[in-house]
Each structure stands twice: as C-alpha cells, then as structure tokens.
Amino acid sequence: MLPRSGRGKTTLLTLGILAILCGMGIGASFTYFYDFPELERLHNYKPNTITRIYARGGELLAELYQERRKPIPLKQIPATLQQAFLAIEDSRFYDHPGVSYPDIFRAFVKNMIAGKFVQGGSTITQQLAKVLFLTPERKLKRKIREALLALEIERRFTKDEILEFYMNQIYLGSGAYGVEAAAQIYFGKTVAQLTLAESAMLAALPKAPTRFNPKTNPDKALLRRNLVIKRMSASGFITAEQEKTAREEPLQLVPRVANIVPEAAYFIEKTRIGLSRRFGQSLYKSGLQIHTTLDIGLQKIAHKALTSGVERINTKRGFKKPGTELKRPPRLGNRFQFHVLDITGKTVSGIIGDYEAEMLLPGRIDPKRLREGDLLLGRVIKVDRASKKLFLDWQETVQGAVIAFDTRTGALRALTGGTNFRRFPFNRATQARRQPGSAFKPIIMGTALSLGYTPAHILMDTPFVRRMPGTLKDWKPRNYTNKFYGPVTMRRTLEKSLNLATIKLLDQMGPQKAVTFAHRLGIRSKMNPYLSLALGSIEVSPYQFTASYIPFATRGVYARPYEITRVTDGRNRVLEENIPTTHLAITPETAYQTKMLLRGVVTNGTGKKAKEIGAFLAGKTGTTNEFRDAWFIGFSEDLVLGVWVGRDDNRHMGYRASGGSAALPIWIETMKGWLEGRESEVRNPEPPPGITLVKVDSRSGQLPSAWCEGEPILEAFVEGTEPSEPCPQKSRLPAMLNGG
C-alpha cells in the first residue's frame, strides 16, 4: 500500500490529467464558437522586412531594420532544413491538430515531479501562436490561450502554411528572424546552400537562441546541433552514414559583417535621418528600397583622402606617425600617434617603438566607441625606462569633412563628416558651423562683378582702420603675409587672397549687397552686413557652403542638393522620386567671370598645387584667424568638391594650417581619383553670349603696351566694359609679391 503522501500525489496527478484532458476537450469545442480576431492578421501576414539603401551604381550601402528578416516561401526552403526543425521541435507536426496531447501529458508529469516548470511540450503551431500573439510568460492562463490559438490556427491554415509562417518568423539569435536571415548571418549562405550540419545548427537555435548561439557559445552549440542530427536519424530523415558525416563537420562561421559600407557611414546616417522624418517607424519595417546619388568609388576615395590627410596634419602638429622608429628614448612632452591594442575599462594600451604605451581616457570619452586598431593621439606624462613603459594623456585630433556635388544636377556624389563614424558620430559636413575665411572672397568678387565691376578693376591694398561699432576699439585687419601690395587688380586680389583690398571693395559696394548675393547662391546662414564679411566671418556648414559654388561652375545655375533619387516599396511601387531642381541664381556673365578668377587661383595663386592634376580646375583656399579652419572649395566641369579641416573644439590646429597646406592636399587626392579614367582638358570653357575675351596687362588691367610691367593675360569682360587705354608710359605700379 502506498504511503499517505504517495497516495496524495497520485490522486493529484490523476486529477491533473483528467483536468487537462477535460480542458482540452472543452477548448477544442470552444475554438469552433469563439472568433479569434487576431488571427485575421495571418491571412494578410507581412512580416517586418529589411529596408536597403543603394548607391547610384546599385551597390548595397546599408540595411535598416528592427528585425533582420528575409521571408521566403516554403518551397524554397530545402527539405533537409525543414526536417531538422521537425525532428527537434515537433516530430508529429503533420499528425496532431495543433497541440500534442501526449507531449502535454509528458511535460505535465515532469513538471509535477520537479515541482516547477521544467518542460513545455509546445508544438510548432503553439510556438507560432506564442511568438505572434502572446507574451513569453510561463503561466497556466497563457498556456491555455496558446493551445486554443494553436487549434484555431490549424483549423484555418494548412500545415505547409503554418510551417512557412514559423520558419520565417522564429528568432534564431544574432538579430536574425527566420531561416534565410540566419543562414546569411551565421554561414554567409542562402538556405539552399546549407549543408546538413548547418541546417541542424539553425534548427538547434529556437529553444535558446542565446545559450546555443554558435558565435558566442560554440561548444554548447555543437552539442545541441549534434542532438538535432541524432533526432533526424531517429526520425528516419537521414541515414546512419549521413549522421556520422554531419556530426564530424566542424563549425565554419562567417565573420560578423557590418550592415553598412563603413566609408559611407556619414552619408548613410544623413540619409536615414531625412527618411525617418518622412516615413517614421515604417522605414525599419517595410522593406523599402532607397536609391541614392552616392558614387561609391568617389566616396571611398574621399574617405581615404580625409583620413590620410588628417594623419598628415597631426604629424605636422608634432605627433609622430604610428610605427615610427624611435631614434632616442621618449621624453616628457613627446607627442605620438599610436594604434589601440587593448581596452580595459577606461585604460587603453598600445605600442610606441619598443615601449608599451598606456593612456587613461578622459571622462567624456566612451571606451565602448573604441576598437582595437583605432588611432589615438597622446602626450607623454611619465616614462618608466626600467620597464619600458610610457604613460600618456589624451590629445584631441584634427577632424574634417569632404563633400562633392554633381555640378549640373546637385546630386550628392560623396560626403564624409569625419574620419571614423563609430568614434565621432558628429557629422561635420552637415552639423558643424564654421567660418569659411577667405573661401568667402569669391562671393564678394561675384557681387562686385554683378554690379558692373570688372576683373581688371584696381583696388588699393593699403592699411585699413575702422572703429568697431559700439566700442572704443579700432579694427585693423591685415594680410596673411603682414604686407601691403598697393594698387592691385581684382584678379590678383583673389589669386593672392589679399584681405585689405577685399575689405575696401566690400566697403565700396556696401556689405548688404554681398549678403543678398550670398542668399542667391543658397547660403541661408545668418549674415550681418559688416565689413568682416570680406574675411568670411559668418558661420556655415561645409555642406551648404560647398553647394554655394555650384553656380560658379554652371553659368549661374543653382542645382538644389539632393541624395535620394527614388524610394520603392516591397512591390516595387514608387513612393518617392526626386528629379533635379534648378534655377538661375546669378547671370551667366557673372558666373563665367568668377569662374575664370577662380581658375587664376589654381594657375597663379594660393591653390596652384592643384595644377598638377592637368585638367580645368578652379577654386579657392580659406584660412581663418589663428588657423582654426582650413578650406578648399573648387570644381571641375562636372564636380563641385569642398574640403574643410579643423578641430571640434574650435581651437587652433597647432601650426600654420592654411587652406593651401591642410585642406588642398585632401582636395587634390579626391579630385585626382574622380578624374582618373575620365577625359579632361586644360583649355578654358567657352564664354557665354555677352562676354568678350580681351588680352590685358596682368598688373594694371589695361591694354598691353611696351610700357606694361606685367604679363599679358586673357581676361573676361562683359561687352562694353573692356579697357580701351594701354598701359601708361611711366607706370608707377609696384612689383607684385606673393600673398598668403
């Protein structure tokens, strides 16, 4: 006879079994009378899918999603993969009505004996019901609801439809929902390419996607995979020989691949932000196809040019290049660039010469943003020669931005807002507001030309003093070279970037006229009508300022910048389409004259390093006070390209980092890459109607004669404004010196 306690357990077990059977019978009947409104979703079921962003050539740039998923029909899922899931998750799937009463009974008994929930007994249909409609909580009420839903799902859908829903919906770890996404994430394959062992590995994951994840727990994953293979053999899906071969197959996972082209990260983020304003959360769920204007080849060139340019600038600032051989032992105050080898808490370490380097990160720096191999800057604060160890403090790097537009359409061809988006997510191309310095001078010149001035107009580059409004201080601007050049043409003023002559030109015209002209070029920044405009005292984003040069390259036509050409949905229906939007911003005559002045900057002025490219190029350097900002904005016939470099804290860069020495080399490297393989000529473009080309003396701006002291040059004049007098017999114009 059983003890009283044993009889009690037996009675409880019997009652429990009867209750389950009774409940299931009632539940099965109940499903025919109760309407399940949530199941209507399955009739038109559309799982969240991945939105993809493409470059202009069709190259995939990025994927946006909340759930990484790629639904496929059941007929495209190999039988081996289906059998692997059935063997481990629900071997009686095609026989039961949605719930498996023997499995429920078995689970109930084990849970009763254990005194807690240790086994479920859910069918694939029940798992689908739980994933789609219920919470993961382990309560009797939820389990009953799950069973009822499963019975109703089976009544409304075929077994194959249910299995297809399940295999596209189930979470399989590492952000993968569904078997196709998981196959690509773990093995870099489609489901059709999976081996038997790989299929078993995917089937091993639904029970505990984190615990059996092969990327993070390979030993546990292999044990679970081999259990699936054993079950497949026991179910008759595979032979004993296949089982043996599959069990011996090693795990061969693909490395984790970023879902973006890293060189295009700033462009992608700009695009994402704009799209999210228009599409909201559907951007991450609806499987949109975003086609952009980005030229991926140029983008990679621009990113490489910026990163190498910034490293070069940091070297000029006194930070030795990474990997430099040390000719003498390091001393206090020495500055180095080094690559991160290890990150422990707030401390990073690396190697400098034959010394181990250690640096404590400042509080504002998040170590989670750093990775092995990142380049850091540090200053030596302690040297331990005995242990060959250096201790450094953190030093800020120079940063930069590169932006490129198609001159005719305004299509954004390249954009990078920094050297490393992961470390520096602030997009300097669009979010920074910096002073353009002398790169603003073409706008002053363009204003004057639009008012009837000519490129040969003589300006006085002499000392200038003006009382600052509302103060007792005098404003005494000076040239880059701290020299005065006397009477100079407008052309020479721009080529040599002379501040004093430009200020006097703006004073003659009136600053408000320059503000109006700048607005016509697309500059929307606040501009006070002060004479300091001649020195580029406004604050503007590199993106907007680069675009303002478009009319100079296109006979006065401004093309509105844009980066998205077309957005389509999963059925390839066009949701949004952008076409170039243009308008005449300035006259063709003014644009051509300014263009030819900017050409002179490249041939004879501060941007003459760009002559090496061997094409028709025009542009302007820009440098601000104390070398805080360095610019070069220029263009070929089909590309407007802007480069800015500086420090995020707006402090000086640590040496005479001018537009010509800091920004121009990056611009040259990028433009060379763009023009490689393209036909390009050095000859001047044809002038528009109303422009006449006249040879004049480069120094006086007058017609050449035996008395001229300069070289004859071809200058562009609006018809009727060309000079009529030759150089005088006794010219008193001083010899020109190179400006800064």
User: Among 675, 700, 716, where does a domain finish?
Assistant: 675
Give me the pLDDT at residue 157, please.
86
Residue 372 shares a structural domain with residue 439: no
Residue 652 shares a structural domain with residue 564: yes
Residue 365 is part of a domain; what is its CATH number?
2.40.50.140
What's the pTM? 0.81
Residue 140 shares a structural domain with residue 178: yes
Residue 386 shares a structural domain with residue 465: no
The per-residue pLDDT of the chain, averaged, comes to 88
Length of the chain: 740
Helix (H) or strand (E) holding 248: helix 240-248
Nearest to 36 by CA among 169, 165, 140, 153: 153
Residue 406 shares a structural domain with residue 372: no
Total Cβ atoms within 10 A of residue 544: 19
Q: Which residues, other chains included, contact 257 with Cβ-Cβ below 8 Å and sequence gap of 6+?
A: 188
Is there a domain that residue 519 lies in? Answer: yes
Residue 417 shares a structural domain with residue 388: no
DSSP state of 437: G
Is there a domain that residue 739 lies in? Answer: no
Residue 463 shares a structural domain with residue 514: yes
Residue 346 shares a structural domain with residue 469: no
For range 141-155, the mean pLDDT: 74
Residue 479 shares a structural domain with residue 612: yes
Residue 165 is part of a domain; what is its CATH number?
1.10.3810.10
Residue 574 shares a structural domain with residue 454: yes
* Range in 200-209, 281-290, 314-323, 344-353 with the lowest mean pLDDT: 281-290
User: Among 643, 658, 675, where does a domain finish?
Assistant: 675
> Of 89, 180, 263, 358, which is the active-site residue?
89
Q: Tell me: the pLDDT tens digits for 539-555?
A: 999 999 999 999 999 99
Is there a domain that residue 117 lies in? Answer: yes
- Whether 438 sits among the annotated catalytic residues: the reply is yes
User: Among 202, 231, 248, where does a domain finish?
Assistant: 248
List C-alpha distances in Å: 691 to 155, 491, 686, 722: 82, 17, 10, 10
Q: Tell me: the pLDDT tens digits for 381-409?
A: 999 999 999 999 999 999 999 999 999 99
For range 356-384, the mean pLDDT: 94
Q: Are 571 and 287 in contact (CB under 8 A)?
A: no
Question: Is the predicted pLDDT of residue 293 greater than 60, yes or no?
Answer: yes
Number of domains in the chain: 3
Is there a domain that residue 736 lies in? Answer: no
* Range in 88-92, 146-150, 356-360, 632-636 with the lowest mean pLDDT: 146-150
Give the separation between CA 127 and CA 176, rounded to whole angstroms.
17
Is there a domain that residue 270 lies in? Answer: no
Question: Is the predicted pLDDT of residue 119 greater than 50, yes or no?
Answer: no
Question: Is the predicted pLDDT of residue 69 greater than 80, yes or no?
Answer: no
Q: Are 121 and 109 in contact (CB under 8 A)?
A: no
> Of 174, 233, 438, 661, which is the active-site residue?
438
φ, ψ at 26 (rounded to 5°): -65, -40
Residue 510 is part of a domain; what is its CATH number?
3.40.710.10
- Amino acid identity of 701? G
Question: Is the predicted pLDDT of residue 98 greater than 50, yes or no?
Answer: yes
Is there a domain that residue 263 lies in? Answer: no
Residue 378 shares a structural domain with residue 405: no
Provide the domain limits for residue 344: 318-392
Is there a domain that residue 56 lies in? Answer: no
What tokens were used for 48? Answer: 């969240």
- Whether 532 sits among the annotated catalytic residues: the reply is no
Is there a domain that residue 220 lies in? Answer: yes
List C-alpha distances in Å: 100 to 14, 103, 122, 150, 514: 19, 5, 8, 10, 81
pLDDT-derived band at 8 (thresholds 50, 70, 90) equals very low
Residue 597 shares a structural domain with residue 619: yes
Q: Tell me: the pLDDT tens digits for 567-588?
A: 998 888 999 999 999 999 999 9
Question: Is the predicted pLDDT of residue 9 greater than 90, yes or no?
Answer: no
pLDDT-derived band at 257 (thresholds 50, 70, 90) equals low
Q: Tell me: the pLDDT tens digits for 687-697?
A: 999 999 999 99
Total Cβ atoms within 10 A of residue 218: 15
